[in-house]
Amino acid sequence: MAGIDIEGLATVYPNGVRAVDGLDLTVADGEFFALLGPSGCGKTTLLRTIAGLENASEGSVRIDGADVTRLEPGKRGVAMVFQDYALFPHMSVSENITYPLKVRRVAAATRSSVAERTAGELSLQGLLERRPGQLSGGQQQRVALARAIASEGKVLLLDEPLSNLDARLRLEARTFLKKLQRDLGITTVFVTHDQAEALALADRIAVMQSGQLRQLGSPREVFARPVNTFVANFIGSTPMNLLDGAVVASDSGAVSVAGGSLPASTGSVPTGAEVTVGVRPEYLTLSVASAGDVAGPAIRGEVVVAENLGTSSLVSVDCAGTLIGVTVPEEDEPEPGTPVVLTAPEQRVLLYDKESGELLA
């Protein structure tokens, strides 16, 4: 079982920056695990501390059950792919792939069969004699991955593996990486600041801020139920609406917001309490206001502008002076100025503490 267990981990740089600040985390055997967070939150430092490229100041790292906290990188059973791939420009693809084996004095014949096999797994056939400078960005990225895989680490660590690729190649490489990880079943931790990439690839995501873990969960969990407004803001291609609100009556299950109200399961939040109401644009339903209409809590407003997102549109609705975003199928995009009504299912309306930003209900 090549899982990773991290306990009470802190990594403090000589200048006193606590880049990783007391972190507990378990990555399961075979899991595809994302470390996600804004620039400077400590994700690269965490990855490098797992690899042994930075020293842990406190706490421990266990890989496959063994405490590796004080082991040098080469003895930890990890293979790492760096953001810039760190390929050797003067070596062929084949030599690059098998370099870790050469260091371990593996025989040339074995090395060349590993190069052939790994090149097959990573669609690099026919490129083994080229040098990195003669490859596309996507091919270079696959050589870096091939080298990591050929080293037969128990754990694969990837630092922003797709960030050097252009948008189209990136999508292709994403699919490729996901399938490769599935096929090989190797425990993989990857760092990204791109929430869409983390949502698309990972089995589970750890969202970090200031060296600490803010939320750990499946893509579905962190998307649908962010535990605080930081995660709510960070996850999602269109930002979550975070609105000033108040609990209308805790037994009626509604919160008032600009332009009306929404149904909400208020839990133990008392009547009259002021809260931040979180609701994703994807979970709001927009209907064109007509006579009588919607029963139950709803928000009224007027369409300001619609932004085309491809197959859907993000519609900004002015609700008593507050802009609320709602996504609709492209063909249902209303004209600016149209009076509309917004509703949402109760379970999609989240209440956050106005001060701390923590999820209340």
Residues engaged in binding ligand ATP (CB under 6 A): 13, 15, 17, 19, 37, 39-45, 193
Q: Which is nearer to ligand ATP, 37 or 100 (CB)?
A: 37
Cβ–Cβ under 8 Å, residues 346 and 253: yes
Total Cβ atoms within 10 A of residue 190: 25
Strands lying side by side in the sheet with 78-81 = 78-81, 155-159, 187-192, 32-36, 204-209, 212-217
Q: Which is nearer to ligand ATP, 39 or 290 (CB)?
A: 39
Q: Which is nearer to ligand ATP, 15 or 311 (CB)?
A: 15
Q: How far is the CB of 85 from ligand ATP (least distance, A)?
A: 16
Q: Which is nearer to ligand ATP, 19 or 124 (CB)?
A: 19
Q: How far is the CB of 212 from ligand ATP (least distance, A)?
A: 12
Q: How far is the CB of 151 from ligand ATP (least distance, A)?
A: 23
- Residue of 331, 329, 220, 344 whose CA lies nearest to 277: 344
Q: How far is the CB of 249 from ligand ATP (least distance, A)?
A: 43
Q: Give the list of residues 6+ apart from residue 293 with CB closer than 8 angstroms, or none.
A: 287, 341
Q: Which is nearer to ligand ATP, 17 or 169 (CB)?
A: 17
Ramachandran bin of 230, using left for φ above 0, alpha for ψ from -120 to 50, beta for the remaining angles: alpha
Q: Which is nearer to ligand ATP, 37 or 226 (CB)?
A: 37
Q: DSSP per residue over 61-114, as a string?
A: EEETTEE-TTS-GGGTTEEEE-TT----TTS-HHHHHHHHHHHTT--HHHHHHH
- Residue of 24, 40, 81, 49 whose CA lies nearest to 193: 40
Q: How far is the CB of 209 from ligand ATP (least distance, A)?
A: 9
Rg of the chain on CA atoms, in Å: 25
In the complex, which residue's CB is closest to ligand ATP? 44
Q: Which is nearer to ligand ATP, 206 or 257 (CB)?
A: 206
Q: How far is the CB of 198 from ligand ATP (least distance, A)?
A: 13
Amino acid 120 reads G
Amino acid 205 reads I
Q: How far is the CB of 141 from ligand ATP (least distance, A)?
A: 18
Cβ–Cβ under 8 Å, residues 49 and 11: yes
CA distance 178 to 53: 26
Q: Which is nearer to ligand ATP, 3 or 40 (CB)?
A: 40
Q: How far is the CB of 51 from ligand ATP (least distance, A)?
A: 12
- DSSP H helices, the chain, are 43-51, 93-103, 108-121, 137-150, 167-184, 195-201, 219-224, 229-234
Cα separations in angstroms, 276 against 192, 207, 244, 354: 28, 21, 5, 5
